[in-house]
Amino acid sequence: MTSYKFKSIILISVLLLAFVSCGKAKKLDTEAKEEMLPDDIVELREDQIKLANIETGTIEMRAMSGTLKVNGTVSVAPQNLATVCMPMGGFIKSTNLMPGNAVKKGQTLAVIENQEFIDMQQNYLETKNKLEYAQAEYTRHKELYKDDVYSQKNLQQVTTEYKNLETMAGALKQKLELIGINPSRLTEDNISRTVALLSPISGYVKAVNVSIGKSVSPSDVLFEIVNSDKLFLELTLFEKDVEKVAIGEKIRFYINNETEQHEAQIYQTGKSINNDKTYKVYANVMGRCENMLPGMYVNAVIQAKSNKASSVPTEAIVSFEDKDYIFIFDKSKVENGKNMTEYRMIEIKKGVSDDGFTEITLPDKTDYKTLKVVVKGAYNLLSAKKNAGEMSC
């Protein structure tokens, strides 16, 4: 009897051990199945889908205008920026300008003194007098030659002397005009050792590089004059935005972190891409702003032109680890007698946003027409993926 009881206990123990082992095996098998789900898959039961408020929709082709935020600088056209030098150099006799002063075209910037000015005026007047005599001789000899009184050789000699003097006088006249002396007003009584350096354009003085008595050479930059009436913006855009802007589009921009808004209009776009995959866009500043100066940094907003682009509701896009994703319906299945739905996470690239929709770029060879996108509850799916079990089975 005792032996029979002992054998019975052993048999029950073996059966219990087998049962426990079977349960553990089933549990391990279930866990193995769960672990085999790909990293980009989230699965939910029907009740979890309702709780997460999941809704699906399609990817639409919409006309997306949107805005582009870009940076740039204020620039001035070459014809509105003047670098003023003195062609013959000399000494600064006087100037009363400071940086920031307004000047008019033809206004005296400085008075330059140089002994060579005297020599040049003297040579011009002497050559001019000789030319008058040579011209009279040329006319007289020409008439005598017609009357066969004067030889052709003598006429040629007089003609040569006259032409040489005429050339010399013309060259000296050009030199005088170059340094700012009017030859038509020059006489023996008004020869001067000084010349007024005049402003070639109207604007304001950007730089003054002179002082009284300073010796300057022809290559020295004495003044910089800027006309700020016609400024333009030089903006830098990325290569991917080339097709989003066009000539004639309006721009809103701000300078020096000010809140005041200014406007500009694109008049030219870049014709080549730089090595850093950027290109330039140029826009004329509309109106006048007293505190806007060339070289200032600007923040600009461009209203991108409309393009048909694949887009989804903005709330359908989730961000995870510095990347953007959407969830799509993958498949339905039955597991342990329960209806399950799998959603796949796809990485996308965001574009412009407009009216609650955002442009997206899908992976290569992806047919957007066949996709069912999670348009509501996307962040609930992302939360389920992160928590790995709170909403998934």
Alpha carbon distance 134, 147 (integer Å): 20
Cα atoms in the Cβ-side hemisphere of radius 13 Å centred on 319: 3
Same domain for 345 and 270? no
Higher pLDDT pick, 50 / 22:
50
Residue pair 197/180 in contact (Cβ under 8 Å)? The answer is yes
Same domain for 86 and 187? yes
Q: Which two tokens stand for residue 391?
A: 């909403």
- As a whole number, the mean pLDDT across the chain is 83
318-363 per-position pLDDT tens digit: 998 889 999 999 998 888 888 999 999 999 988 877 778 888 888 8
Q: Which of 16-25, 98-107, 262-271, 279-288 has the highest mean pLDDT?
A: 98-107
Phi, psi dihedral angles at 15 (to 5 degrees): -65, -45
Query: Any idea how long the chain is?
Result: 393
Alpha carbon distance 183, 136 (integer Å): 21
Pick the last residue of a domain from 177, 206, 226: 226
* Calculated CA dihedral for residues 91, 93, 96, 98, nearest 10 degrees: 20
Pick the last residue of a domain from 226, 250, 285: 226
If we measure between CA atoms, which residue out of 366, 392, 365 comes closest to residue 380?
Answer: 392
Q: Determine the pLDDT at residue 117.
A: 93
Same domain for 319 and 297? no
Residue 59 burial by Cβ neighbours in a 10 Å radius (0-12, 13-18, 19+): buried
Alpha carbon distance 192, 117 (integer Å): 7
Q: Determine the pLDDT at residue 288.
A: 74
Q: Determine the pLDDT at residue 316.
A: 92
Beta strands in 260-337 (DSSP E): 262-269, 278-286, 297-303, 307-313, 318-320, 323-335
What is the tally of structural domains in the chain? 3
Q: Which two tokens stand for residue 227?
A: 């006309």
Q: Which two tokens stand for residue 375?
A: 């348009």
Q: Determine the pLDDT at residue 201.
A: 93
Torsion over CA: 146, 150, 156, 158 (sign):
negative
Pick the last residue of a domain from 307, 340, 372: 307
Expressed as residue numbers, the domain containing 351 is 37-64+309-387
Q: Determine the pLDDT at residue 25.
A: 44
Same domain for 120 and 220? yes
Higher pLDDT pick, 137 / 64:
137
**Would residue 8 count as lying in a domain?**
no
What does the DSSP 8-state code read for residue 377? S
Same domain for 204 and 91? yes
146-179 per-position pLDDT tens digit: 766 566 777 788 888 889 999 999 999 999 999 9
Same domain for 269 and 190? no
Residue 195 has pLDDT above 60, yes or no: yes
Beta bridge partner(s), residue 347: 325
pTM: 0.55
**Would residue 199 count as lying in a domain?**
yes
290-329 per-position pLDDT tens digit: 678 888 899 888 876 666 788 999 999 999 888 999 999 9
Residue pair 222/216 in contact (Cβ under 8 Å)? The answer is yes
Residues 6+ apart with CB under 8 A from 8: none
Q: Give the pairing of strands 90-94 and 67-76.
A: unpaired
State in Å, rounded, how far the first CA of the chain is from the last one. 51
Same domain for 321 and 279? no
Q: Determine the pLDDT at residue 295.
A: 85
